[in-house]
Amino acid sequence: MDDVQHVKEYFDCRAEQWDQICHHDPAKLEALATLADIQPDQNILDIACGTGAMFDVLLRRKPHRLVGVDLSDRMISVARQKYPLPNVELFAQDILEFSQTGFDTAFIYSAYPHFSNKIALCKKVWECLKTGGRFLVAHSEGRKTIDARHQSPQVQRVSTHLGTAEQEARIWKEQFDVDILIDTPFLYVISGVKTTGL
């Protein structure tokens, strides 16, 4: 996998067409929000939010703040046009350089294979969450489908192999109480709670 600048350029080039290229089953997105147990007035962080695939579902849960962060400023620009709302805040930056904390929930939806340094990502998610906060690494497809889509040399340059939920969860178990693992042909979730403070 190439460096973060190449990942940014790859997604920048696709931002305008992204919503036409990708389909997300709304029922599965609802299921992910239910698994996250999102309650009204919470602060939600959507890491690698892209154009906001999760936003409709998350906004229906009435968050206090929905904060989206994405490396690609063109993805963020599309998301900004779609969601000009006072409780939606968008940042075009590498999540590893994001410094806000105190979130109740952090989603990494349909983006995990695009992070080369999973240990640094896990540590950053831990910093962003409050004690008791929950993270979800989630896909509304199975890992074999995702891996197959990432096979072309061009996509291999911006993605990593997605292991079983059990394998990938090892890193997260170092920092979190991981209590949800789903690894079916139709859904993939690693989720857990931050139980320790600073």
Ligand X SMILES: C[S@@+](CC[C@H](N)C(=O)[O-])C[C@H]1O[C@@H](n2cnc3c(N)ncnc32)[C@H](O)[C@@H]1O
Query: Which residues make up the interface to ligand X (CB under 6 A)?
Result: 4, 7, 11, 22, 48-50, 53, 69-72, 75, 94-96, 109-111, 114-115
Using CA atoms, how far apart are residues 25 and 28, in angstroms rounded to an integer? 5
Residue 41 vs 144, nearer CB to ligand X: 144
Residue 44 vs 177, nearer CB to ligand X: 44
Residue 20 vs 196, nearer CB to ligand X: 20
Q: Residue 74 CB, nearest distance to ligand X (Å)?
A: 9
Edge to edge, what strands does the sheet with 177-183 contain?
88-92, 65-70, 43-47, 103-109, 129-139, 188-193, 177-183
Q: Residue 11 CB, nearest distance to ligand X (Å)?
A: 4
Using CA atoms, how far apart are residues 142 and 113, in angstroms rounded to an integer? 13
Residue 118 vs 130, nearer CB to ligand X: 118
Q: Residue 197 CB, nearest distance to ligand X (Å)?
A: 25
